[in-house]
Amino acid sequence: NAGVMQNPRHLVRRRGQEARLRCSPMKGHSHVYWYRQLPEEGLKFMVYLQKENIIDESGMPKERFSAEFPKEGPSILRIQQVVRGDSAAYFCASSPPNSGENTEAFFGQGTRLTVV
């Protein structure tokens, strides 16, 4: 059972371009979470999705950022018109459905976005 897969591992974008980050959850997991780690900061929650639904987007910036988790395929975090301040490591985690109170979240290795 492969772990949570994120790609690309490293992404360089020029200011104004779009960045697309992909996350394939573990097999059987239907819950996906995106977190961002800015330099010198901890992991900050961005968005929580289930298949075809956004459940909690309270941590998403209001503009330029969007996320989806389609019925088929990976979850995508999309950043339009990137700026230098978007440079960070973006981590995805997944959880299985209905696993009781001890439900764990399993993390991918992250995508490091650099905006030049």
Partner 1 sequence: ILNVEQSPQSLHVQEGDSTNFTCSFPSSNFYALHWYRWETAKSPEALFVMTLNGDEKKKGRISATLNTKEGYSYLYIKGSQPEDSATYLCALRSGSSNTGKLIFGQGTTLQVKP
Establish if 26 lies at the interface with partner 1 (CB under 8 A): no
Whether the ω angle into residue 96 lies within 30 degrees of 0, i.e. cis, is no
Among residues 80 and 103, whose Cβ is nearest to partner 1?
103
Q: Cβ distance 113 to 19 under 8 Å? A: yes
Least Å distance, CB 81 to partner 1, is 26
DSSP 9-63: SEEEE-TT--EEEEEEPPTT--EEEEEEE-TT--EEEEEEEETTEEEE-TTS-SS
Establish if 56 lies at the interface with partner 1 (CB under 8 A): yes
Residue type, 60: M
Establish if 8 lies at the interface with partner 1 (CB under 8 A): no
Establish if 39 lies at the interface with partner 1 (CB under 8 A): no
Residues that bind partner 1 (CB under 8 A): 3-4, 31, 33, 35, 41-45, 48, 56, 58-59, 91, 93, 95, 97, 99-110
